Homo-oligomer: A and B are copies of this chain.
Amino acid sequence: MRLRLTPRDTTFFDLLAASAQHLVTGANLLGEMLGAARPERKEIGKRIADAEHLADDATHEIMRRLNQTFITPFDRDDIYNLASSLDDCMDFMDEAADLIVLYKVDELPTRISDQVQVLQRAAELTAEAMPRLRSMDSLKEYWVEVNRLENQADKSYRKLLAQLFDEVADPILLMKLKEIVEKLEEAADAFEKVANTVETIALKES
């Protein structure tokens, strides 16, 4: 039974902010991984997996409170969507890192770092925005900028995909690179989904 007489549970904001903070860690480690030699990549991958576990714990805590709190600061569904799309961002970055290690790819196309830079920037913006949900303060700049970044990410993703099919003759290497690049694109999409959910919340509150 849901707890009645509970005050607007502001810890939701702290949990969302914490969850977003793990995305910054994950995105930056992903950037490190690109620059690293193969042996170091495995160790960096482990640290990304650690960030993923912490993000996972934050998500579960949000869901647990969501299911046991009677009054929530926003629509229950919006908090749910926000938490689960933050979780998706982390999962896709983690999966991409995982594949980079698993597939033992030595040379990664330089354009992949464009994708990762977008993820790093999107993660920073998201981590800065989450605490502002409390006051609903200047969130528009955030979702507009993340949408802009995602469009840019999408263009470079498609260029990269075309480039891979033009330049990679080995079909197995092509399969590996294509999957890594797709995971990074899925991560960028997930950051956009977070921004869209924030926009939805702001619209309802306005």
Contacts and interface: CB of A to CB of B under 8 A. Distances in A.
Assign chain A's interface to a size class. Answer: 20 to 34
Contact of A64 (B98, B172, B203): B203
Contacts of A162: 102-103
Interface in A63-103: 63-64, 67-68, 98, 102-103
B103 A63 contact: no
A174 interface: yes
A165 B172 contact: yes
A1 interface: yes
Interface in A52-68: 63-64, 67-68
Interface of A: 1-2, 63-64, 67-68, 98, 102-103, 158, 161-162, 165, 171-172, 174-176, 178, 200, 203-206
